[in-house]
Structure 1
Amino acid sequence: MKRQENKACGADIHKRFLMACILSRDGSKVLNRFDMTVEGVLCFASWLKDNNCKKVAVESTGNYWHLVYQVLDDEFEFILGNAFKTRRHSGAKTDKRDAEWLAELCLNNQIEPSMILPKEDRELRALTRARKGYVDFRSKLKARTIQELEACTIKLASELSDVFGKSGRHVLQGLVDGRSADVIVESIPSKKVKKNKEMIKQAIIAGLSPISIFLIKSHIQMIDEVDKKLVQLDAQISRLLKARKRDVEIAMSIPGIGFVSAAAILSEIGDYRNFASGKKLAAFSGLDPSVYESAGKRYNGKITKMGSKYLRRMIIECAHALSRTKAKTQLKRFFLRIMARRGKNIATVALARKMLVVLHHLLINQEMYKDDGLAKPKNVKVSFSEES
């Protein structure tokens, strides 16, 4: 049983201010409003001390709670609640009522605390999420470039598997520089691509308008800038992962998981010892099926998606990669069995959940992944340079 407090505080946090309510067992309550500045949060801490309140609950709304946590963590019991699980389902919604509701839940120990990672893990998570944002932005720029080419009736994507590969960039540069199709095609660096020079010539013969040249050149410049930022981010991620080298190697020993995905997965998990089992970790990622029970019958529905969307997205990407491998590993055979009965999409999600459960087991036991289906074990040795 949790210790019952006589007082508890609920804080409804916003961008510019927070509304706080201290609720006592006798039903009395004290309300106050504070600015969301360092000075304002320090005043909030002093107000809590003056009212002899040691327990504070807030909702995990964006990053606004970080400042409050940094100020209160050392002297108060800080509870971070999931906003979906703490929301009030009836009655008028005001800042005061929200603060009172949080205080009531906190006083009666009805808030399931969310996991708060140590500072180093939060920094690693911030870097990996920033990297994901840059990659998504680069993908959008590439899509816009291809759309601009299509608008000028240049079907380059139909002839090249990667428009932004070495040969693709050569063709794009020739187009924005105003060179003729013959000159561009004859100077393609790849002999393999050059075999299809007539098809490529027909695809780019229309040329670009001045506005299209300006837009495509701008997109290419921004893509190059993003690539430079990704190199810098990778160096910072490698620096923070030096202390977890063994964990990275274990994660990368599973087929379908590379360095980037291993870094993202480990950053989202944090300390894997916080999860009692692989099933708990799968539930944290939102990959567990929802459960319906009626009249003694139990049904499994779609996955809950109640968890880290970043972890869920990355492990599903790894599952896609593993499903395309040729090696008949146990994980691949599991995927094929599910796909035969339920289809590819459900099989991929099931495989992602399976991979998380396996990863948790390997991390807990500090073992590398081994499988008879692999021609040879995946030899993983991660080296971090001194510059990282």
Structure 2
Amino acid sequence: MTKRKSGGHPDLKMVNPNAAAIDIGSTMHMAAVNPDTDIMPVRAFGTFTQDLHDLADWFRSCGVTSVAMESTGVYWIPAFEILEANGFEVILVNARYAKNVPGRKTDVSDAGWLRQLHSYALLRGSFHPEAEIATLRAYMRQRERLTEYAAAHIQHMQKALMEMNLQLHHVVSDITGATGMLIIRAIVGGERDPEVLAAFRDVRCKSSMGTIKAALVGNDRPEHVFAC
């Protein structure tokens, strides 16, 4: 009985001969195209905007239609956006997927290997939303960060007031409300008279002027006022 050979791999079919790839770096991008389209199929490009446009022009001259890029951090974003604006189909690849594919030769560059995998449709692109969704997501993430920063600053203000024994947070529901902010701004501006500070009470505030006045008798120190 003839033994069946194991370990063989059928020939892969090239799905996308017009594929290109970029190994994204912080100061330089290594790009690769099909060796049949250029005598120098692997080239280095800078990261300035003009360099990225030159990269797009080179891809176009080589007949590239699809580009795979591998990157960490956010260095890929400008290249992705410029190439996409130039009409290329662009995918961002997780480096782990490319490294887990066997068969790489040691003399093949990262960009060349990435291009080869992309030409055989062996790479899966990371999720990238449509332009409008990406814009909205950027705004929402920035808003979330600002909200977090604001919460931390409010805590710092409240801690500084407590260190001066100005118990404003006990007599107003929100120190960043109308009454709280008027009083804090006055304190930062140099006002120390509790009666004057209590006069900033908003008519909607539930605490009386007498209660607010008592809460604003403290032991102020310059460094604590500065922290407000």
Separation in 2, partners of 1:36, 1:209: 50
Residue in 1 that maps onto 2:105: none
Q: What is the identity, as a one-letter code, of the residue corresponding to 1:190?
A: V
Question: 123, 128, 139: which is aligned to 1:115?
Answer: 128
| Larger helix percent | 1
Q: 1:4-153 to 2 correspondence within 5 Å?
A: 4-22=15-33, 30-59=41-70, 61-62=73-74, 64-81=76-93, 83=94, 86=97, 88=99, 98-109=110-121, 110-118=123-131, 120-153=132-165
Aligned mates of 1:87, 1:153 — CA distance in 2 = 60
Alignment CA distance shift 1:196-1:178 (3 Å): closer
State how 1:150-169 maps to structure 2 within 5 Å: 150-169=162-181
How high is the TM-score relative to the length of structure 1?
A: 0.44
Whether contact under 8 Å (2:172, 2:205) holds in the other structure is: no
CA displacement at 1:204 relative to structure 2: 2.8
Change (3 A) 1:151 1:103: farther
Match for residue 203 of structure 2 among 184, 190, 208: 190
Instruction: Tell me if structure 1 keeps the 8 A contact 2:19–2:33.
Output: yes
Distance verdict in 2 for CA 1:47–1:191, change over 3 Å = closer
- Provide the secondary structure at the position in 2 that maps to 1:148: helix
Structure number, greater radius of gyration: 2
Do 1:9 and 1:20's aligned partners in 2 also have CA atoms closer than 8 Å? yes
Q: 2:194 aligns with which of 166, 175, 181?
A: 181
Task: Extract unaligned runs of 5+ from structure 1.
Answer: 217-388
In 2, Cα distance between equivalents of 1:98 and 1:150: 58
Q: How does 1:238-317 map to 2 (within 5 A)?
A: none
Structure number with the bigger relative contact order (C-alpha 8 A, sep ≥ 6) is 2
Equivalent pair of 2:45/2:52 in contact (CA under 8 Å):
yes
Identity of aligned residues (%): 20
| 2:218 counterpart (186, 206, 212) | 206
For the 8 Å contact 1:10–1:102, the answer to whether it is kept is: yes
How many residues matched? 205
Whole-Å Cα distance in 1 between the matches of residues 48 and 15 of structure 2? 31
- Measure, in 2, the Cα distance between the counterparts of 1:76 and 1:191: 59
SS at match of 2:23: strand
Cα distance in 2 for residues equivalent to 1:5 and 1:142: 55
8 Å Cα contact 2:32/2:43 also seen in 1 = yes
Cα deviation 1:28-47 (Å, max 9, x = unaligned): x9322101223322332343
Question: What RMSD, in angstroms, separates the aligned Cα atoms of the two structures?
Answer: 3.6
* Partners of 2:166 and 2:217 within 8 A in 1: yes
Gaps of 5+ in 2: 1-12, 103-107
Return closer, same or farther for 1:136/1:97 CA change in 2, 3 Å cut-off: farther
Letter in 2 for 1:156: L
- TM-score normalized with structure 2 length: 0.68
Per-residue CA deviation, residues 312-347 of structure 1 (Å, 9 max, x unaligned), is: xxxxxxxxxxxxxxxxxxxxxxxxxxxxxxxxxxxx
Q: Distance in 2 between matches of 1:85 and 1:54?
A: 24
**Between 105-114 and 121-130, the greater mean CA deviation after superposition:** 121-130
Query: Counterpart of 1:193 in 2: which secondary structure?
Result: coil
Partners of 1:163 and 1:185 lie apart in 2 by: 13
Distance 1:183 1:74, change over 3 A: closer
How far is the alpha carbon of 1:17 from its aligned partner?
1.9
Question: Which aligned runs of 4 or more in structure 1 are off by greater than 6 angstroms?
Answer: none
1:80-130 CA-to-partner distances (Å, cap 9, x unmatched) read 33x376463699xxxx85434532442232213523423x54444443433
Residues 143, 98 of structure 1: alpha-carbon distance in 2 compared, 3 angstrom cutoff: farther
What CA distance in whole angstroms lies between the structure 2 residues aligned with 1:166 and 1:52?
Answer: 63
Give, in angstroms, the shift of residue 72 of structure 1.
4.9
Pick closer, same or farther for the CA change 1:35–1:160 going to 2, 3 Å.
same
Counterpart secondary structure, 2:55:
helix
